[in-house]
């Protein structure tokens, strides 16, 4: 896959993709590239105004549907409106925000980044024909899953530790989903991707001086959102992907470059914790997965 780029995306005519957070940042780049290759994209977005602005630019194959991952009622309503799709891309995310709660009382980062996508995937899995791609981060390496206090109800909240936990949860979910699909005899794929250090508006919502500092870092060190989206696009479209694989930039310690197979922390490979996280996620979201042999 050396040097893989948007030009290497195959013809996607007749295929349908769901992209969460499709109206900005990596999601917008991903959506634009998929549309450019002929796909139909369901843009699953909380900000419908921004989503419609992009959809109007991209044409009739871009369709906007409201989805707020921080509200399980919205997740269920969105899922009820989907008939079928080839690929689900769990792209939306928040990073290092102040201590807040979702509509269902979850800590905002684990609730949005992991539990919202966990519920969405479970509700849609029987209608996804080919693969699920979940966007994680190199920051998963600083994460630790606290099963006794996943929602920061007893610990002093630390925004970056909470982000690391959520991104680690994304990756553990990807691996565990693949294990369960394989065990069920399903040919569906579960894959993960990360953008390295890409300049997007993800870094502008900490509501602190860190927004300013990260804006400087974006200008000086980050690669473009177009490059950052390549691992997701590779995972979502390439016929050469491996089941349960994690893809990210291949250069400068995984921070920039074209997509390659990425390594991940030993914690992300902890199968016992992954099973327990899965069970807890089902309990919290009240979404129980059903695996068919497809």
pLDDT in tens, 211-261: 534 444 445 455 788 999 999 999 999 999 999 999 999 876 667 688 999
Give yes or no for residue 206 having a pLDDT over 50: no
Place of tokens 């991707």: 193
Q: Cα 268 to the chain's mean position, in Å?
A: 16
**Across residues 18-24, what is the average pLDDT?**
97
- Average pLDDT across the chain, whole number: 91
pLDDT number for residue 200: 58
Helix axes 271-285, 159-183, angle to 10 degrees: 100
Confidence of residue 207 (pLDDT cuts 50, 70, 90): very low
Q: Cα separation of 136 and 4, whole Å?
A: 20
Number of residues written out for the chain: 294
List the 62-66 sheet strands across, edge first. 62-66, 40-45, 16-20, 85-90, 128-135, 189-193, 246-251, 256-261
136: CB partners within 8 A, 6+ apart: 167, 168, 170, 171, 174, 192, 193, 194, 246
Q: Cα separation of 65 and 46, whole Å?
A: 9
Predicted TM-score (pTM) of this structure: 0.92
Confidence of residue 165 (pLDDT cuts 50, 70, 90): very high
Looking at the chain, the whole-number percentage of residues with pLDDT higher than 70 is 88
**Across residues 44-61, what is the average pLDDT?**
97
Q: Which of the residues 163, 197, 234, 247 is marked catalytic?
A: 163
157 is a catalytic site residue: no
pLDDT number for residue 252: 65
Q: Cα separation of 291 and 175, whole Å?
A: 15
pLDDT number for residue 203: 40
49: CB partners within 8 A, 6+ apart: none
pLDDT number for residue 217: 46
């Amino acid at each position: 896959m050396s040097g893989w780029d948007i030009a290497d995306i195959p013809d996607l005519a007749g295929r349908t993709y769901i992209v969460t957070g499709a109206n900005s940042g990596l999601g917008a780049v991903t959506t634009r590239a998929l549309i450019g290759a002929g796909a139909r994209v369901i843009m699953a977005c909380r900000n419908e105004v921004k989503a419609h602005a992009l959809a109007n630019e991209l044409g009739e194959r871009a369709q906007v549907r409201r989805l707020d991952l921080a509200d399980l009622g919205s997740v269920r309503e969105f899922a009820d409106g989907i008939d079928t799709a080839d690929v689900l891309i769990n792209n939306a995310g928040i990073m290092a925000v102040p201590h807040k709660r979702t509509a269902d009382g979850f800590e905002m980062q684990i609730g949005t980044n992991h539990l919202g996508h966990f519920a969405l995937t479970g509700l849609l899995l029987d209608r996804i024909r080919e693969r699920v791609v979940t966007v994680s981060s190199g920051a998963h390496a600083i994460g630790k899953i606290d099963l006794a206090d996943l929602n920061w109800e007893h610990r002093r909240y630390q925004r970056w530790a909470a982000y690391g936990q959520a991104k680690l949860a994304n990756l553990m979910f990807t691996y565990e989903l693949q294990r369960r699909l394989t065990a069920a005899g399903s040919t569906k794929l579960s894959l993960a991707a990360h953008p390295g250090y890409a300049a997007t508006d993800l870094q502008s919502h900490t509501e602190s001086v860190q927004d300013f500092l990260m804006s400087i870092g974006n200008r000086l060190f980050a690669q473009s959102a177009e490059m950052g989206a390549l691992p997701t696009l590779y995972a979502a479209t390439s016929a050469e992907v491996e089941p349960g694989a994690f893809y990210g930039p291949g250069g400068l310690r995984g921070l920039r470059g074209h997509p390659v197979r990425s390594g991940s922390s030993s914690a992300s490979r902890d199968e016992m914790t992954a099973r327990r996280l899965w069970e807890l996620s089902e309990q919290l979201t009240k979404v129980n997965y059903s695996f068919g042999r497809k």
